[in-house]
């Protein structure tokens, strides 16, 4: 596999390889400090980012390379140069391209046209690198035997809910997305894809609209912002009202198992999708999860550039 364009591109052996190397990078960030020596990695983002940008630039630096950060409005792409011409040019200079933008189809086209690895650093539909950090955090907490455990996402049926279902399917987990019905439920094509992967891995994929039954006996409650980057402001009031029952508060956490954790990709809005006492409380692993954005992106870059990730 040249690129990581979709969470569903990953096979279980890919994830195991990436996570085991990431755990080593967590112990010793500089253990492969010259693997990208004298090389550059382009990071192109048309949406804001705190974690993914810092994690990516730090990961490249720890591998001995130089990150080149390019904002959305800085390329000729915005003035009519084609995606494929842009991909061809970047391929001539950089060893990999990390890209965050709106349309998944733009990232797919960059992947097709570039000769270097292209990594999806978030689109409207997916967020594969986030899920690598999430699963490293889950394995650190519970180990690799997840029998009998339930992993629950609550909130908007957005890019994060999609990536959560697909990665849970790959990991053979019992994953749940508890979202409103209709407009803010996960995409049915993604749910079908998760179920297809689950047939191979033994995962259980569940979509529900009942937050309490979802939270009952869960090992993880995960949530995300209610307004994603690019969501129309005109929908804020209606969306907030519909999502209110899915807010992760102490009452929902009390329904979970005794060693449960709270996770969030961040940024968080206390008092909206999560109560302050939960995200800032003893069960929250969000800071460790955020730090693993670096260890996992470092591992992904290390293996992709060496051509060590196999096609699913």
For residue 183, how many other CB atoms are within 10 A of its CB? 11
Q: Mark whether 130 is an active-site residue.
A: yes
Q: Is 265 in the site for ligand CP (CB under 6 A)?
A: yes
Q: Mark whether 298 is an active-site residue.
A: no
For residue 79, how many other CB atoms are within 10 A of its CB? 7
Q: Mark whether 224 is an active-site residue.
A: yes
Catalytic residue among 6, 53, 100, 292: 100
CB 124 to ligand CP: min, Å: 13
Catalytic residue among 6, 51, 53, 127: 127
Which stretch, 49-57, 166-174, 212-220, 250-258, contacts ligand CP (CB under 6 A)? 49-57
Q: Is 71 in the site for ligand CP (CB under 6 A)?
A: no
Looking at residues 121 to 160 of the shown chain, list those that interact with ligand CP (rule: CB under 6 A): 122, 130
Q: Mark whether 293 is an active-site residue.
A: yes
Q: Is 225 in the site for ligand CP (CB under 6 A)?
A: no
Strands (E), the chain: 40-45, 66-71, 96-100, 118-120, 150-154, 174-178, 204-208, 220-223, 261-264
Residues that bind ligand NVA (CB under 6 A): 122, 158-160, 224-225, 228-229, 265
Strand order in the sheet with 220-223: 204-208, 174-178, 150-154, 220-223, 261-264
Angle at 26 between CA 311 and CA 289, to 5 degrees: 80
For residue 232, how many other CB atoms are within 10 A of its CB? 8
> Strand 150-154 and strand 261-264: pairing?
unpaired
Catalytic residue among 9, 125, 224, 264: 224
50 binds, among ligand NVA, ligand CP, none (CB under 5 to 8 A by kind): ligand CP
Catalytic residues: 100, 127, 130, 224, 265, 293
Residues near ligand CP, by CB under 6 A: 49-52, 122, 130, 265-267
């Amino acid at each position: 596999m040249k690129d990581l364009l979709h969470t569903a591109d990953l096979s279980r052996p890919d994830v195991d390889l990436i996570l085991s190397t990431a755990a080593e990078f967590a112990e010793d960030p500089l253990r492969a400090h010259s693997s990208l020596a004298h090389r550059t990695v382009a990071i192109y983002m048309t949406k804001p980012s705190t974690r993914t940008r810092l994690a990516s630039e730090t990961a490249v630096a720890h591998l001995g390379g130089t990150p080149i950060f390019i904002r959305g409005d800085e390329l000729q792409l915005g003035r009519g140069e084609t995606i494929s011409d842009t991909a061809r040019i970047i391929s001539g200079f950089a060893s990999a391209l990390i890209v965050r933008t709106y349309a998944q189809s733009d990232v797919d086209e960059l992947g097709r046209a570039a000769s270097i690895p292209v990594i999806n650093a978030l689109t409207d539909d997916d967020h594969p690198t986030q899920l690598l950090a999430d699963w490293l955090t889950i394995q650190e907490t519970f180990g690799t035997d997840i029998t009998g455990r339930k992993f629950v996402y609550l909130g908007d049926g957005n890019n994060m809910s999609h990536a959560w279902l697909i990665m849970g399917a790959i990991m053979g987990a019992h994953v749940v997305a508890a979202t409103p019905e209709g407009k803010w439920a996960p995409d049915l094509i993604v749910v079908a894809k998760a179920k297809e992967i689950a047939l191979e891995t033994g995962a259980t994929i569940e979509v529900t609209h009942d937050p309490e039954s979802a939270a009952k006996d869960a090992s993880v409650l995960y949530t995300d912002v209610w307004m994603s980057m690019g969501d129309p402001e005109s929908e804020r009031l209606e969306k907030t009202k519909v999502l209110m029952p899915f807010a992760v508060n102490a009452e929902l956490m009390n329904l979970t198992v005794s060693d449960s954790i709270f996770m969030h990709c961040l940024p968080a809005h206390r008092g909206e999708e999560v109560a302050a006492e939960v995200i800032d409380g003893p069960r929250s692993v969000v800071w460790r999860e955020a730090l693993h954005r670096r260890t996992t992106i470092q591992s992904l870059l290390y293996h992709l550039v060496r051509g060590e990730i196999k096609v699913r």
